[in-house]
Structure 1
Amino acid sequence: MEKIIISKNLYAHPLSMNRIILIFSLSLVLAGCSASRQRRLHKNIVTIINSRQFKNQFTGYIVFDPITKDTISNYNSEKYFLPASNTKIFTLYTALQLLADRIPSIKYISQNDTLYVEGTGDPSALHPFFKDSTLLHFLKKAKNIALHLNNFDGNSFGPGWAWEDYDHYYAPERNSLPLYGNVTFISNIDSLRIIPSYFKDSIVFSTAAKKRKLHQNVFYFDSLRKDTLEVPIITYANLTKELLETATHKKIELVSEMPAGKKEVLYGILSDSLYKRMMYESDNFIAEQLLIVSSSTLNDTINSTIARDHILVNQLSNLRQPPRWVDGSGLSRYNLFTPESMMIVLQKMYAELPKDRLFSLFPAGGKKGTLIDLFKGNPKPYVFAKSGSMGNTYCLSGYLLTNSGKTLIFSFMNNHYRQSTNNIKKEMTSIFELLRDTY
């Protein structure tokens, strides 16, 4: 009945029908203009991609409007690329899906007069940057402490990591209860300072190229050096026990298993503080441990593979190009991701998180993190993205704000080039500015 009344009104007032026709015609014109604009924009971007700078390499990208669901431009977006630290975007998404507002620091059971403790992989315990003492204060209250370290079912290093990086700050070992970031901090600004002090007698003054013995926690430090040296330690159960004993001033017993019963969880620092450190500084250690912590919410046995498989089978089962995803940091050259898959994960986070919080987790062009000197806005940042760099590789994926007030999602991957990375960044800047100014 309602449709009949509307129909009569239309015939009774010819101008109403004319108005409808006019609006419909204008919408077609506007849609055509928008499509034409997108075609021109895509053509201009492809022209840059086909220029000399990108000629002798493998490049792929996708630019997507999350509101209209339009792909603005793409090129090789379904091809697989080595992502480097763009892998951390998948790690961030995993942590956001599986972890609470605060990081689970340990699991424990109190039985009689003994506190039984096992790690969750929390990377913040006694870390000099975070200065979180949650674990320390908790353990100091216990009469007797029993430490279970056999719940980590993984390797110290990720698959495909370069063995010669063992003494570099960016490649600490992975384990269930990391302490001090699994790194020794050595500085000689006013006087020699070592964190943890446990290793004060393990420092050898030397100008050797390597900063630690391959199979021993003996560290080499140039006495003339004035900045802080960070050197990964070799982790093992007795060392973890002794470091905790030194910090708590309590005797600790190592046990082979936890007693039967429900495990309680001690929560530590705010999760976002770890996410920001991982994303701003591209901290590989935090990335690796976050996947392990995420797995602790799914299983008593912790392993980054558990978290990765869970996310791919559940939240990311719709990816048209499932990644080869082997670690949390992107250190491995075994990782393979497509720009399209990267964009889909970014789109999911954009839909699920408040924009202010989401953008606060990413480096801002010209303002903070690894992008502090790149993609500068005038006066405000317009790029919020995670970079990924290693030999012959530079990738950048994230969010771009246009002058018209729109947000675009992009993933831009460059592999196998032999030229300067600065040249790649310069050409990418011209593409991003084109998107910012014309969309």
Structure 2
Amino acid sequence: MHSANHHLHFLLFLSLFLALSRVQGQGDGRAGLSTSEREKLSRLVDQNTVFEQGISGFSLYDVSTSARLYDYNADRLFVPASNVKLFTFYVANRVLGNRAPAVFYQNYLDHLELWGTGYPLTLHPQFLADDLLTPWLRQKGIAPNTNVLGTSGRAPLGETPKPIIIHYPTGQDQLPRYGAGWSWDDYNGGYVFERSTFPMFGNRLYVEQQESEVPGVPFVYSSPPNALSQITQDADQRPRTWRREFDNGFVVRPGYLPNSYPLQRSLTLSPVWMVSELNAALPGLNASPGYQPYPPRADLNTFEVTLPDTVYRRFLQNSDNYLAEQLLLLAAAQRYGVPDEERIIDYARDTLFPALGISDFRWVDGSGLSRYNLVTPRQLTRIVMALDQEVGRERLLDLLPSGGGDNGTLKRRFDGASEPYVWAKTGSLSGVACISGLVKTKRGRWLAFSFMHNNFVQSSLRYYIEMEKVLGWCYEEL
């Protein structure tokens, strides 16, 4: 009996010792790497003369064991730029999945009142096939005999079309057009779009040349419908395109448009202007703006729609800032009945992410345009591994940009191998270059990584060259 107890105690001690050894191995970043492998990574990362010219951090994990393989400034906070979109995707996938509230509404005998959810696809020029709210608006607000293209979207026989009021709450209930810490003077660029509770046309001017039925005579498609009439040419203009901050009249250099399709520029939004453009896009619709706050969710009807992976794919592969912000608003509307970005961020930061071991970071917007965001490389590798588990690897690889892929932000990056080996989200601002994602090695081993670089003045190309050396070595040797 004594011998049996002694044997049992020995086994318990051995189990505890081995468990402690594993934890210590993960803690010092040495589990799973040989001495020579650690020395090689040290030369490639710690002693990198390019990385020394700014502030750099690196975190590398084994996905199957969750073991930390290598750290360099992995717990230091960095501005992540668009790597924040990984946090946004985690929240959107957890709260929305592939279903979303397209609009909240109240149905009266003589009219319909709507409140927006942030649904981003309404008349979006690049999602015309996926937009399910526009046909619903036609059905509710356009008579069957109205002379519009197509018939499937008109009000059915027996259902009387009604005037529609689209509410845009004002005062303290109004959604700020920009996120915290955004640069106000980016309004003239093609990457910063105003946020909206009821966005339309992707909140952008979109002009594209398409084939027409007449050979040799191209057709110019414009969105919103009156967009072309708002573009003038000026030979003395210095920028290629320009508009005043609160004016949707665009000035371009002569000859600029034919060489620049598709042209995308942000619009400045007002309820009156947006609803006017909606009526122009849907002849026969009688919509007007209203300004009432959101009623309690229990008092509202919801038109729910499918949210396809084409949205998530463009959001991640093209690093679409507009979709990033609107998806976060949409998640808030789903959970709280109001598209309140701060509220959904607080929920994720206080509830969702601590369960993943992610805390003590700053997250303020969905897109990463703000320099207020502060995240560590280790936190980003943890969110990558969480996405790998929750989204599923096959789907995640389909949604993320891939090195040397046909499209996306990594089209010309990490393409030196005979097969794709990097799937990752990029992030860039002036003096910021970050990338976080997955590596599949030659041996079939899956690694999660995050590279973060801040405070440099050189071209980010030099940083990508060095990061490709590091991840290329991981692909070949680990």
**TMscore range, shorter length:** 0.7 to 0.9
**Match in the other structure for 1:146:** 165
| Residue identity matched to 2:242 | K
SS of 2:336 mapped into structure 1: coil
User: How many percent of aligned residue pairs carry the same amino acid?
Assistant: 29
**Match in the other structure for 2:384:** 346
Contact 1:123 1:290 in 2 (8 A): yes
| Residue identity matched to 2:125 | P
**Match in the other structure for 2:289:** 254
**Match in the other structure for 1:126:** 123
Mapped partners of 2:209, 2:389: distance in 1: 47
Contact 1:347 1:409 in 2 (8 A): yes
**Match in the other structure for 2:36:** 40
User: In structure 1, which of residues 292, 301, 326 is the aligned counterpart of residue 364 of structure 2?
Assistant: 326
**Match in the other structure for 2:274:** 240
| Residue identity matched to 1:222 | R
| Residue identity matched to 1:223 | P
**Match in the other structure for 2:12:** none
**Match in the other structure for 1:408:** 447
Of 284-293 and 215-224, more deviation after overlay is shown by 215-224
Contact 1:98 1:294 in 2 (8 A): yes
Mapped partners of 1:264, 1:377: distance in 2: 53
Of 165-174 and 148-157, more deviation after overlay is shown by 148-157
**Match in the other structure for 1:203:** 231
TM-score by length of 2: 0.81
Give the drift of 1:269: 4.7
User: In structure 2, which of residues 245, 248, 251 is the aligned counterpart of residue 214 of structure 1?
Assistant: 245
User: In structure 2, which of residues 186, 200, 213 is the aligned counterpart of residue 179 of structure 1?
Assistant: 200
Deviations 1:363-411, CA, capped at 9 Å, x for gaps: 0111131101111263321100001111111100001101111111111
**Match in the other structure for 2:329:** 292
Matched, 1:362 2:400: yes
Mapped partners of 1:336, 1:392: distance in 2: 15
Deviations 1:323-374, CA, capped at 9 Å, x for gaps: 2111111111111111111111111111222211111110011113110111
Superposed CA RMSD? 2.5
Judging changes above 3 Å, is the alpha-carbon distance between structure 1 residues 35 and 293 closer, same or farther for their aligned structure 2 residues? closer
Judging changes above 3 Å, is the alpha-carbon distance between structure 1 residues 256 and 417 closer, same or farther for their aligned structure 2 residues? closer
Deviations 1:15-34, CA, capped at 9 Å, x for gaps: xxxxxxxxx9xxx9xx9xx9
Of 202-211 and 120-129, more deviation after overlay is shown by 202-211
Contact 2:118 2:198 in 1 (8 A): yes
Judging changes above 3 Å, is the alpha-carbon distance between structure 1 residues 320 and 39 closer, same or farther for their aligned structure 2 residues? farther
User: In structure 2, which of residues 75, 79, 89 is the aligned counterpart of residue 78 of structure 1?
Assistant: 75
Contact 1:212 1:218 in 2 (8 A): yes
SS of 1:297 mapped into structure 2: helix
| Residue identity matched to 1:401 | K
Q: Any stretches of 5+ residues in structure 2 without a counterpart?
A: 8-17, 141-160, 211-217
Matched, 1:157 2:157: no
Mapped partners of 1:149, 1:234: distance in 2: 15
SS of 2:436 mapped into structure 1: strand
**Match in the other structure for 1:136:** 134
Deviations 1:210-239, CA, capped at 9 Å, x for gaps: 521122111112330222221111111112
Mapped partners of 2:437, 2:338: distance in 1: 33
Judging changes above 3 Å, is the alpha-carbon distance between structure 1 residues 36 and 193 closer, same or farther for their aligned structure 2 residues? closer
**Match in the other structure for 1:62:** 59
SS of 2:121 mapped into structure 1: coil
Judging changes above 3 Å, is the alpha-carbon distance between structure 1 residues 116 and 73 closer, same or farther for their aligned structure 2 residues? same
Give the drift of 1:416: 1.3
**Match in the other structure for 2:463:** 424
TM-score by length of 1: 0.88
Judging changes above 3 Å, is the alpha-carbon distance between structure 1 residues 344 and 35 closer, same or farther for their aligned structure 2 residues? closer
Off by >6 Å, runs of 4+ in structure 1: none
